[in-house]
């Protein structure tokens, strides 16, 4: 299984919406879980987007800074997760597609300096001990600065890019900077613009790992909690997300096998108790 970080750039690429589509479509084996962690230092979007504020601000990353000071981070992590299984999750065991909501105010990121590294250890431990997959939403800035340690510890880092001229120009510098920090990166392409995947690969000089269609109506179900159309799970967006999630898992496995063929990195992580 894998720890995968999604990063963005300017040009509104849709990192969180893509992450939600992937998470809800992720291929899960029995007794496995998928955890989506909103680790964007600019703030999370799911509580007041997809969930329409129905849960308030009781859950989320901001509560972990207090738990870390009290030495209770491992257990507190599981208490902050929200079940997003929904229609997709009914085919699986309960609480198998889980969300760690992000902070609600960018000012809260200042209190998370010591939490980012500890979260990276928790993610590695969950993956190594239990085989659960972790998808990290780093937003536009999260792959750099203190939270960038999460990108460094991931099995794969993927930049979400729309194939428009504006977004490609913004992405080029971001991709180069990420390569310097974490090594090889890939691209998840949102197919809004005129440039095919081959051209995107040529311009950015990194592989397009997966592609999602530009589908504003379906995307608003995930980004804003809009009414879910009939057969939403069979829409072009969700079908592509199912294919894309499998491709991301494959990329992560290949990269890990190349960089850590004996599994020493995963084995060395501190394991936190699963719930």
CA gap 275, 271 in Å, rounded: 13
pLDDT at 132 over 70: yes
Give residue limits of the domains in the chain: 3-267
State the CB neighbour count (10 A cutoff) for residue 123. 27
Q: Is the dihedral of CA 214, 220, 222, 228 positive or negative?
A: negative
As a whole number, mean pLDDT of residues 114-143 equals: 90
Q: Give the gyration radius of the chain's Cα atoms.
A: 17
Quote the pLDDT of residue 270: 42
Distances from the Cα of 76 to the Cα of 37, 70, 91, 269, angstroms:
14, 10, 27, 18
As a whole number, mean pLDDT of residues 188-195 equals: 97
Quote the pLDDT of residue 267: 42
DSSP 228: P
- Which strand (E) or helix (H) includes residue 134? strand 133-137
Mean pLDDT highest for which of 7-21, 27-41, 150-164? 150-164
The label of the residue with tokens 């999460």 reads 150
pLDDT at 91 over 50: no
pTM, two decimals, is 0.91
- Is residue 82 within 8 Å of residue 98, measured between CB atoms? yes
Quote the pLDDT of residue 262: 62
pLDDT at 92 over 50: no
As a whole number, mean pLDDT of residues 14-27 equals: 95
> pLDDT-derived band of residue 227, with 50, 70 and 90 as boundaries?
very high
Q: Which long-range contacts (CB under 8 A, 24 or more apart) does 236-243 make?
A: 237/21, 237/212, 237/213, 238/21, 238/24, 238/25, 240/210, 240/211, 240/212, 240/213, 241/18, 241/21, 241/22, 241/24, 241/25, 241/212, 242/25, 242/27, 243/210
pLDDT at 94 over 70: no
- Is residue 18 within 8 Å of residue 159, measured between CB atoms? no
Could you please state the CATH topology (level 3) that the domain comprising 3-267 is classified under: Rossmann fold (3.40.50)
Quote the pLDDT of residue 86: 56
The label of the residue with tokens 């879980």 reads 33
């Amino acid at each position: 299984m894998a720890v995968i970080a999604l990063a963005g750039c300017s040009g509104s690429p849709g990192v969180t919406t893509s992450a939600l589509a992937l998470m809800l479509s992720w291929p899960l084996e029995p007794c496995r879980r998928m955890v989506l962690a909103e680790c964007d230092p600019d703030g999370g979007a799911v509580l007041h987007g997809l969930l329409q504020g129905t849960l308030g601000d009781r859950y989320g990353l901001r509560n972990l800074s207090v738990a870390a000071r009290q030495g209770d981070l491992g257990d507190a992590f599981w208490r902050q997760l929200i079940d997003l299984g929904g229609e997709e999750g009914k085919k699986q065991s309960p609480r198998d597609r889980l969300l760690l909501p992000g902070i609600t105010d960018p000012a809260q990121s200042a209190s998370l300096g010591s939490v980012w590294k500890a979260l990276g250890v928790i993610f590695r431990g969950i993956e190594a001990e239990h085989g659960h997959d972790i998808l990290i939403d780093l937003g536009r800035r999260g792959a750099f600065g203190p939270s960038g340690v999460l990108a460094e510890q991931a099995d794969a880092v993927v930049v979400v890019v729309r194939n428009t001229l504006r977004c490609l120009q913004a992405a080029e510098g971001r991709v180069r900077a990420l390569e310097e920090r974490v090594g090889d990166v890939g691209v998840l392409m949102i197919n809004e613009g005129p440039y095919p995947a081959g051209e995107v690969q040529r311009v950015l000089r990194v592989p397009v790992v997966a592609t999602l269609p530009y589908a504003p109506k379906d995307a608003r179900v995930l980004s804003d909690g809009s009414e879910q159309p009939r057969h939403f799970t069979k829409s072009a967006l969700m079908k592509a997300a199912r294919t894309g999630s499998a491709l991301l898992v494959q990329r992560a496995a290949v990269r890990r096998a190349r960089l850590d063929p004996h599994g020493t990195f995963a084995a060395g992580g501190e394991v936190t108790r699963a719930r």
